Amino acid sequence: MADFLMLSLVPLVVAVIISLTCALLGNFLVLRRQSLIGDAISHVALPGIVASFLITGTLAASAMMVGAGVAALVTVAMIELIKHLGRVESSAAMGVAFTAIFALGVLMLEWNDASGVHLDVEHALYGNLESLIWFEGQHWLSLFDRQALADLPPQLARVTWVGLLVLAFVIVVWRPLVVGSFDPAFAASIQARPILTDLLLVVMVAITAIAAFEAVGSIIVIAMFICPAAAARLMTNHLGHQIAWSQAFALISAVLGYVLAGYGPGWIGVDASLSAAGMIASIAGLILLLACVFGPHRCRESSQAVSDA
Amino acid sequence: MDAWLRALTFSTGYNTSLVTLGAMLLGASAGMIGSFILLRKRSLVSDAISHATLPGLTVAFIVMALLFGDGRWLPGLMIGAGLSAAFGLWGVQHISERTRLGEDSAIGAILSTLFGLGVVLITVIQAMNTGGQAGLTGYLVGATAGMLAGEAQLIAACALLLLIAVFMLRREFLLVCFDAEYAATNGVRAQRVDMLMLLLLLAVTVIGLKVTGLILVVALTIIPPVTGRFWTDRPLRMVAIAAICGALAGYLGVTLSSVRTGLPTGPLIVLSAFFLFVLSLLFSPRRGMVAMLAAHYRFKTKVHLRQGLLALARQEAIYDALTLRVLRRHGFIRRDNVPTPLGLAAARDAEHEEQLWSLYRSLYPDEAAHLDHLGLEPISDCLPPDTVMSLESRMHPPLRSAL
Predicted local confidence at residue B109, as pLDDT:
93
Among B99, B107, B113, the residue with its CB nearest the CB of A282 is B113
With respect to residue A216, please indicate whether it lies within any of the assigned structural domains: yes
Give CA separation, B336 vs A233, B41, B116, B339, in Å: 72, 58, 74, 9
B128 residue type, one letter: M
Residue A198 half-sphere exposure toward CB, CA atoms < 13 A: 17
User: Are B138 and B213 a contacting pair, CB within 8 Å?
Assistant: yes
**What is the pLDDT averaged over residues A116-137?**
68
Alpha carbon distance A162, B285 (integer Å): 47
Q: Nearest CB to B108: which of A38, A95, A282? A: A38
* Angstroms from B271 CA to nearest CA on chain A: 6
Same domain, A13 and A76: no
**Three-state DSSP class for A33?**
coil
Angle CA(A287)–CA(A41)–CA(A32) in degrees, nearest 5?
A: 60
Range scoring the smallest mean pLDDT among A59-68, A289-298, B92-101, B242-251: A59-68
Chain B interface disruption, residue of A19, A34, A35, most B CBs within 10 A: A35
DSSP state of A226: H
User: Is residue B27 within 8 Å of B33, Cβ to Cβ?
Assistant: no
B-chain CB neighbours of A286 within 8 Å are: 113
Which residue range(s) make up the domain with A276?
1-31+152-301
**What's the number of domains chain A is made of?**
2
Number of helices followed by number of strands (H, E) in chain B: 20, 0
- In sequence order, the β-bridge partners of residue B333 are B339
**Chain A contacts of B222, Cβ < 8 Å?**
92, 95-96, 99
CA distance A174 to A168: 10
Cα B163 from Cα B142, distance rounded (Å): 21
C-beta of residue B112 within 8 angstroms of C-beta of residue A222 = yes
Question: Coil, helix or strand for A136?
Answer: coil
Print pLDDT tens along chain B (403 aa).
677 777 777 777 777 788 888 889 999 999 999 999 999 888 889 999 999 999 999 999 889 888 887 777 888 888 999 999 999 999 999 898 888 888 889 999 999 999 999 988 888 888 877 666 666 777 777 766 667 778 888 888 888 898 899 888 888 888 888 887 888 888 878 888 888 999 999 999 988 888 888 888 899 999 999 999 999 988 889 999 999 999 999 999 988 888 877 778 888 999 999 999 999 999 988 888 899 899 999 989 988 998 898 898 888 888 888 898 988 988 888 888 888 899 889 899 888 888 888 888 888 888 777 776 566 777 777 788 888 888 888 877 655 554 4
- Give me the residues paired with residue B339 across strands: B333
Whether B104 has its CB under 8 Å from any CB of chain A: the answer is: yes
**Cα gap B315→B303, rounded to integer Å:** 18
A-proximal residues of B, 213-242, CB under 8 Å: 215-216, 218-219, 222-223, 225-226, 229-230
Q: Looking at the complex, report in whole angstroms how far the Cα of residue B96 sits from the nearest Cα belonging to chain A.
A: 10
Q: Are residues A296 and A285 in the same domain?
A: yes
Per-residue pLDDT at A302 exceeds 60: no
| Of the candidates B55, B80, B54, the residue with the CA atom closest to the CA atom of residue B67 | B80
Q: Are A93 and A104 in contact (CB under 8 A)?
A: no
Backbone angles phi, psi at B261, to 5 degrees: -70, 145
Confidence of residue A114 (pLDDT cuts 50, 70, 90): very low
- Beta-sheet strands, E only, within chain A: none
Quick one: DSSP state of residue A8?
Answer: I
The answer to whether the Cβ–Cβ distance between B113 and A280 falls below 8 Å is no
CA dist A185 to A25, A91, A170, A193, B82, Å? 21, 21, 21, 10, 43
Judge if A187 and A104 occupy the same domain. no
A179-200 mean pLDDT: 81
Residue A118 lies in a domain: no
Are the beta carbons of A91 and B41 separated by less than 8 Å? yes
Query: How close does chain B come to A85, measured CA to CA in Å?
Result: 7
Q: Which residue of A has its CA nearest to B282?
A: A86
Q: Does residue A163 share a domain with residue A41?
A: no
CATH code of the domain occupying B2-282: 1.10.3470.10
**What angle separates helix A9-31 from helix A220-233, to the nearest 10 degrees?**
60
From residue B215, how far is each of A29, A100, B61, B142 by CA, in Å? Answer: 22, 11, 19, 9
Residues 15-74 on B with a CB inside 8 Å of A are 38, 41-44, 47, 51
Helices A9-31 and A239-267 cross at an angle (nearest 10°) of: 140
Does A61 score more than 80 pLDDT?
no
Same domain, A234 and A162: yes
Q: Three-state SS string across B69-123, please?
A: CCCCCHHHHHHHHHHHHHHHHHHHHHHHHHCCCCHHHHHHHHHHHHHHHHHHHHH
How much is the pLDDT for B240? 93
Alpha-carbon distances of B351 from B335, B340, B358, rounded to whole Å: 23, 16, 11
Q: Enter the DSSP assignment of B290.
A: H
* Residue A115: band (very low, low, confident or very high) from pLDDT cuts 50, 70, 90: very low
pLDDT value at position B398? 55
Closest to A217 (Cα-Cα) out of A104, A110, A98, A128: A128
Task: Identify the closest residue of chain A to B94 by CA–CA distance.
Answer: A292
Answer whether residue A124 is part of any domain: no
Q: Is residue A260 domain-resident? A: yes
Shared-domain flag, residues A211 and A279: yes
Domain-by-domain residue ranges, chain B? Answer: 2-282, 291-402
* Pairwise CB contact (< 8 Å): B262 & A39: no
Residues A156, A65, single domain; the answer is no
pLDDT in tens, B93-112: 989 888 888 888 999 999 99
pLDDT at A301: 65
Query: Number of CB pairs < 8 Å for A and B?
Result: 226
CB A48 within 8 A of CB A40: no
Does B296 contact chain A (CB < 8 Å)? no
Does one domain contain both A222 and A189? yes
Predicted confidence band of residue A285 (pLDDT cuts 50, 70, 90): very high
pLDDT band at residue A207 using 50, 70 and 90 as cut-offs: confident
**Tens-place pLDDT, residues B291-344:** 989 999 998 998 899 889 889 888 888 888 889 898 898 888 888 888 889 988
Q: Which residue among A35, A126, A272 places its CB closest to the CB of B108?
A: A35
Cβ burial B341-375 (10 Å sphere, 16+ → b, else e): eebeebbeebeebbebbebbeeeeeeebeeeeeeb
> Whole-angstrom Cα distance, residue B266 to residue A65?
26
Task: Tell me: ipTM over 0.90.
Answer: no
**What's residue A137's pLDDT?**
67
Q: Are A21 and A41 in a shared domain? A: no
Query: So what's the pLDDT on residue A17?
Result: 94
Q: Say if the Cβ atoms of A95 and B219 lie within 8 Å.
A: yes
